[in-house]
Amino acid sequence: MAAYNPDPDPREDPRPLDDVQPGETPPAESSTSSGAGPYRPPKRGWAKGPVIAICVMAVLVAFFFLAYAIVLAV
């Protein structure tokens, strides 16, 4: 099986070396900022819906294992 070489030999590259002029390509990093817009601090706490859903699922799982333990004990 041939291994993939992530760093190919530049002598085997079919493109000419001087085909890209300086300034023709963008820099690797455009800036140091994230560019995500103004900073918005996260809202405090969770919404009621997800908390209720997680609690209901936890109770259902607890009841399942309780019923499973009772069935095994009988």
Summarised one tens digit per residue, pLDDT across range 3-54 is 777 776 767 766 665 666 666 665 566 556 666 677 777 777 778 888 999 9
Q: What are phi and psi of 72, to 5 degrees?
A: -70, -35
Which two tokens mark 10? Answer: 């530049």
Distance CA 17, CA 61 (A): 63
Closest CA to 63 of 55, 23, 9: 55
**Residue 73: pLDDT above 80?**
yes
Residues 6+ apart with CB under 8 A from 17: 10
Write down the pLDDT at residue 42. Answer: 73
The model's pTM is: 0.42
Q: How confident is residue 69, by pLDDT bands cut at 50, 70 and 90? A: very high
